[in-house]
Amino acid sequence: MQTIKPLDKSPTAANGNIAVNGHDGSALRAIVIDKIDAKIIKELRRHGVDVKDSPGMSRGELLGEIGQYHILIGRTRMPVDKEILEKGTNLRIVGRAAVGTDNIDFAAAERNGVKVINAPGAATESVAELALTLTFMALRGVYNGSAMLKNGEFFKNSGVELAGKTVGIIGFGRIGSRFAEVLRPFNVNVIVNDIAKMNGRVKELGAEFVGMNELLARSDIISLHVNMEANTKPVIDGSSFAMMKDGAILINTVRAAAVDMHALQRSLASGKLGFYASDVLWNEPPKDPKELEIIAKDNVLITPHIGAQTNEAQGRVAEIMIPNLVEAIKELKRPVYPADNGDFVDRLEYHFIE
């Protein structure tokens, strides 16, 4: 359970009215640091929130300004860590316009009375479709063929079909199971591994539940859909690559940390891994020399974290977040009255949206 700290420690504002908005009875203030659906900003303003829309704001700029704001809204680009939360002395709500919350320091948020609101399930369709797109591009060499043609080289590169292949799905939650669904028309053999053995759902989708080692050994294509909020170590490391088929394809639409970067580099260089297609990087934008070396390889395709970057997914983010933001704003505007002992009554408690 999360508790929002009340806005003001005094029962009245400077003008003598009960302080129901800011410290002086003025409007709540919000800072938006990434491009989000305009409906979210419109709804905040409709509820009297003064919104500064600053997509692309740097961390340094945010640290210099965050103390002025009650609400911070962004996507996954910038971690909301202890430093940001502690410098945000007036901060009461962090809105994550995305599904993942793994780069938010929940312990620091709890200590500082900051409520976290996200958008679970909003990007399921978009990420599953991107995983399928990356699969086809890896199988057929689409990107390299197009790049060669643009450089004046007309070369018919060979590829392989998806039909008849074994696809291993690691993580069978919303996105993993949806990916299994979109694969059904392509005549593939789907095998699944998850920490929870969901036999009913697996059988419903015509898949087979297997152990991790068996999945690694049997799969022609492996797609990662694990929840990295519960994982502190890579899911795919050196021993994992050793168990894979020679020339296997690895698809990653979760977090770069799901794959050991150094082991990946070695597996690509040796030819053990045939192709790595990913929507995520260890640094966004990339800066580590080894990371840049991986990106430059012909058997690697990286997209710039666009899994949820569709009009439909961002529309669903707005649909999910708006009612929860509005409810939190209404609670913040509720007066805080003095108790008999001189302290102040705070009953602003919420459950985090799973």
Nearest CA to 255 out of 305, 182, 297, 195 is that of 305
Query: Strand 349-350 to strand 2-3: parallel, antiparallel, or no bridges (unpaired)?
Result: antiparallel
pLDDT attached to residue 249: 98
Among residues 61, 161, 284, 327, the one annotated as catalytic is 284
Give me the pLDDT at residue 17, please: 33
Long-range contacts: 289-292, Cβ < 8 Å, 24+? 290/261, 290/262, 290/265, 291/261
**Catalytic annotation, pick one of 75, 174, 218, 255:** 255
Q: Which of 92, 225, 305, 316 is catalytic?
A: 305
43 vs 306: CA distance, rounded Å = 25
Q: Which domains does the chain have, with CATH numbers?
A: 2-122+310-350 (3.40.50.720), 124-302 (3.40.50.720)
Closest listed residue to residue 72, CA positions, set 53, 58, 47: 53
- DSSP secondary structure string, 83-104? HHHHH-TT--EEEESSS--TTB
- The question of whether 305 is a catalytic residue gets the answer yes
Identify the pLDDT of residue 103. Answer: 84
Number of CB atoms found within 10 A of residue 335's CB: 14
pLDDT at 16: 34
What does the pLDDT read at residue 261? 97
User: How far are the Cα atoms of 119, 152, 245, 248 from residue 211, in angstroms, in the given order?
Assistant: 31, 47, 16, 18
User: Whole-prediction pTM value?
Assistant: 0.84
Average pLDDT per consecutive 10 residues, the chain (354 residues; last block may be shorter): 58 35 67 96 95 96 97 94 96 93 91 94 96 98 92 93 98 96 97 90 95 98 88 91 98 96 97 97 92 96 95 96 94 66 42 36
Rounding to the nearest 10 degrees, give the CA dihedral for residues 42, 46, 47, 52: 50
Radius of gyration of the chain (CA): 24
